[in-house]
């Protein structure tokens, strides 16, 4: 137990260090006194310039490595300042040979190589619009004796006549979501707003909007919370000639970015609608998991939030009748088989989702009640969601001690 607790704390710290503007406990807040104003300008179709100005001199800016993104796509423009990868800590470090510096500029190229377990750095709309992931700009700064989390203030500048849209500022966690640069404006979509790539087929758009509206209503009711600020969806359409169908989503704060691809999106089919609905409900579950004043998604034991999102989606899709009972049963069978195929382990990507789902499914408890309790516990304790919390919440629900009323937020 001690060890588990210790890991959880490391997880929290790491999260803070990697994420600017996270409200942290008072003791940590004293350290967070260096900020950076970053002006991010789009200077060409696939070229940006980021100008950093720190509030005090620093000896290094250390960022969690994102595959080879920075090595391949970043060019430091300021003389004497270099970018290097530190393989031992898996970080990218900007420094001036140990001497203090207070500003630097970097040119950043579009980069859409998929990085395992990370967001796509820059995603493309077919009409020239781009999504730029801001989470890769922040990190921790070294100054004097120690390392401190960096608070960032990012200002966006599009090219003339272009919209530069900052992501919704999350109530907790990193501001690192996608900024949009392009010709479009978000259009209202129920309680949410959305920017769709014009290449997204009409039936896909309709299916996504319909699921989003129905699942929003359900999660709002079941968990007693509505996303603050309101949900924003960004949907890009990649390669339409690739075989099959792929849909990837990433939720940060109140923003969900979806990337679609594959020729199978061209023709409508109920099985494809069921798949789309599942992806949408899963990503939306993450948005709701993060609608807490403190705590929330942690770095350790990802099966808790991923398997949890699978369980929340399964529950919501059935309750809203977006899925038939047969769709639901097929999903459960598929997930349990995938988990068995992974040897019941959380070590693989598939295992995190499928065996995570199995953990929740095996409790036999009502998912909405269990996760409502998880949200209350994370807020009460400030600890991130964890296996221990799942156990604790399960016990509460079984004992009927859980709050049976959804909380008004």
Instruction: Give contact residues for Zn ion (rule: CB under 5 A).
Output: 306, 309
**Is the Cβ of residue 129 or residue 135 nearer to Zn ion in the bound state?**
135
Least CB distance to Zn ion at residue 363 (A): 19
In order, the DSSP letters of 152-186 are: EEEEEE-STT-EEEPPPPPSSS---SEEEEES---
Q: Which residues contact 305 (CB under 8 A, 6 or more apart)?
A: 286, 289, 297, 298, 385
Two structure tokens written together for 282: 């899963």
Q: Quote the distance between the C-alpha of residue 124 and its chain's center.
A: 18
**Is the Cβ of residue 277 or residue 309 nearer to Zn ion in the bound state?**
309
Euclidean distance between CA atoms 62 and 92, whole angstroms: 6
3-state secondary structure (DSSP) of residue 401: coil
**Is the Cβ of residue 323 or residue 357 nearer to Zn ion in the bound state?**
357
Euclidean distance between CA atoms 225 and 193, whole angstroms: 18
**Is the Cβ of residue 158 or residue 250 nearer to Zn ion in the bound state?**
250
Cβ burial of 27 (10 Å; 0-12, 13-18, 19+) is exposed
Least CB distance to Zn ion at residue 282 (A): 6
Least CB distance to Zn ion at residue 64 (A): 19
**Is the Cβ of residue 129 or residue 298 nearer to Zn ion in the bound state?**
298
How wide is the angle at C-alpha 324 spanned by C-alphas 318 and 325, nearest 5°?
75
Least CB distance to Zn ion at residue 47 (A): 31
**Is the Cβ of residue 309 or residue 368 nearer to Zn ion in the bound state?**
309
Euclidean distance between CA atoms 32 and 26, whole angstroms: 10
Euclidean distance between CA atoms 317 and 61, whole angstroms: 44
**Is the Cβ of residue 352 or residue 377 nearer to Zn ion in the bound state?**
352
Two structure tokens written together for 121: 């750095």
Least CB distance to Zn ion at residue 247 (A): 12
3-state secondary structure (DSSP) of residue 227: coil
**Is the Cβ of residue 54 or residue 178 nearer to Zn ion in the bound state?**
178
**Is the Cβ of residue 108 or residue 251 nearer to Zn ion in the bound state?**
251
Which residue from 307, 358, 304 is spatially nearest to 7, judged by alpha carbons?
304
Cβ burial of 330 (10 Å; 0-12, 13-18, 19+) is middle
CB 180 within 8 A of CB 125: no
Least CB distance to Zn ion at residue 306 (A): 5
Least CB distance to Zn ion at residue 72 (A): 26
Two structure tokens written together for 362: 């095996």
Euclidean distance between CA atoms 298 and 58, whole angstroms: 28
Least CB distance to Zn ion at residue 283 (A): 7
Euclidean distance between CA atoms 223 and 368, whole angstroms: 7
Least CB distance to Zn ion at residue 302 (A): 8
């Amino acid at each position: 137990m001690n060890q588990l607790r210790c890991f959880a704390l490391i997880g929290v710290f790491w999260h803070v260090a990697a994420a600017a503007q996270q409200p942290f406990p008072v003791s940590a807040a004293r350290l967070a006194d260096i900020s950076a104003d970053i002006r991010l300008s789009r200077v060409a179709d696939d070229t940006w310039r980021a100008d950093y100005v720190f509030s005090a001199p620093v000896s290094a800016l250390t960022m969690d490595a994102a595959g080879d993104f920075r090595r391949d796509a970043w060019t430091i423009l300021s003389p004497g300042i270099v970018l290097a990868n530190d393989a031992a800590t898996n970080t990218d470090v900007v420094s001036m040979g140990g001497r203090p510096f207070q500003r630097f500029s970097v040119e950043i190229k579009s980069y859409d190589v998929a990085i395992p377990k990370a967001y796509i750095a820059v995603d493309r709309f077919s009409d020239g619009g781009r999504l730029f992931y801001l989470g890769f700009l922040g990190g921790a700064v070294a100054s004097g004796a120690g390392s401190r989390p960096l608070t960032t203030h990012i200002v966006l500048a599009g090219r003339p006549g272009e919209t530069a849209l900052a992501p919704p500022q999350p109530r907790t966690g990193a501001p690192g979501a996608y900024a949009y640069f392009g010709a479009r404006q978000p259009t209202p979509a129920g309680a949410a707003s959305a920017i769709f790539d014009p290449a997204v087929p009409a039936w896909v758009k309709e299916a996504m909007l319909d699921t989003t509206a129905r699942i929003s209503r359900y999660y709002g009711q079941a968990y007693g919370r509505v996303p603050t600020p309101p949900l924003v969806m960004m949907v890009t359409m990649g390669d339409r000639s690739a075989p099959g169908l792929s849909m990837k989503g990433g939720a940060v704060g109140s923003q969900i970015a979806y990337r679609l691809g594959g020729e199978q999106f061209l023709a409508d089919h109920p099985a494809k609608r069921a798949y789309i609905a599942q992806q949408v409900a899963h990503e939306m579950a993450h948005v709701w998991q993060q609608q807490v004043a403190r705590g929330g998604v942690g770095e350790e034991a990802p099966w808790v939030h991923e398997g949890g999102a699978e369980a929340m989606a399964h529950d919501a899709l059935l309750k809203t009748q977006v899925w038939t009972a047969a769709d639901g049963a097929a999903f459960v069978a598929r997930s349990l088989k995938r988990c068995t195929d992974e040897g019941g382990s959380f070590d693989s990507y598939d295992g995190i989702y499928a065996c995570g789902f199995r953990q929740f499914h095996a409790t036999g408890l009502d998912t909405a009640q269990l996760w409502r309790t998880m949200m209350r516990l994370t807020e009460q304790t400030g600890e991130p969601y964890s296996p221990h919390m799942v156990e604790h919440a399960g016990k509460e629900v079984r004992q009927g001690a859980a709050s049976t009323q959804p909380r008004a937020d």
